[in-house]
Amino acid sequence: MTKKERAQMIVERLEQVYPEGICSLDYKKPHELMIAGRLSAQCTDARVNIVTKELFAKYKTIEDFANADVADIEEIIRPCGLYKTKARSIVTMCRQIMDNFGGEIPDTIEKLTTLAGIGRKTANLVMGDVFHKPAVTDTHCIRICGRLGLTKNKEPAKVEEDLKKILPPERSSDFCHRLVLFGREYCKARGERCSECPLLDICGSRK
């Protein structure tokens, strides 16, 4: 079985197991997803969703965040950890969007990653969910795709390139959302449930 054939089978199997391949971060506006993605670093999506409920109620636009008091942002996002660094980067990224991109979120990985605090993970998240362009990323994606035999690389950019070669472009973003769900339920970093796994027969790590 080639990697492309295995990838196709995995995509189809996960679509059956998780029909709704949606992002686990709560947001209504594009910039909210970008900010939630920044907050998710070393923090659970569940906790981020609790924090952003208050954050997005108080600061509604990119301009609001650009003009925000960093100390106030710090206080709201404190439960997410690394709150001082995250607060500074949130305000700075929104100022950069206002100053460098006319108040509009840029629509390429290259431009998104020029923003403070935005790495390839969040940039890909925005590309896939906001602009509906092919996107692959996330630590779950890197770990699980290695186990499944879809890549041997560990670096995000290289994993990205490997997956772009074998995944259907129009299904890649939802595939990564499903991998997050799959990683939480079956293919955990520790205590994986291989005997119950719906991908056991096509997993590259099966013994």
* Amino acid at site 26: D
Round to whole Å and give the CA distance between 12 and 15: 5
Catalytic residue set: 121, 138
Closest to 159 in 3D by CA, of 179, 145, 173: 145
CA distances from 150 to 6, 42, 103 (A): 8, 25, 38
Residues 12, 201, 147, 34, Cα dihedral to 10°: 20
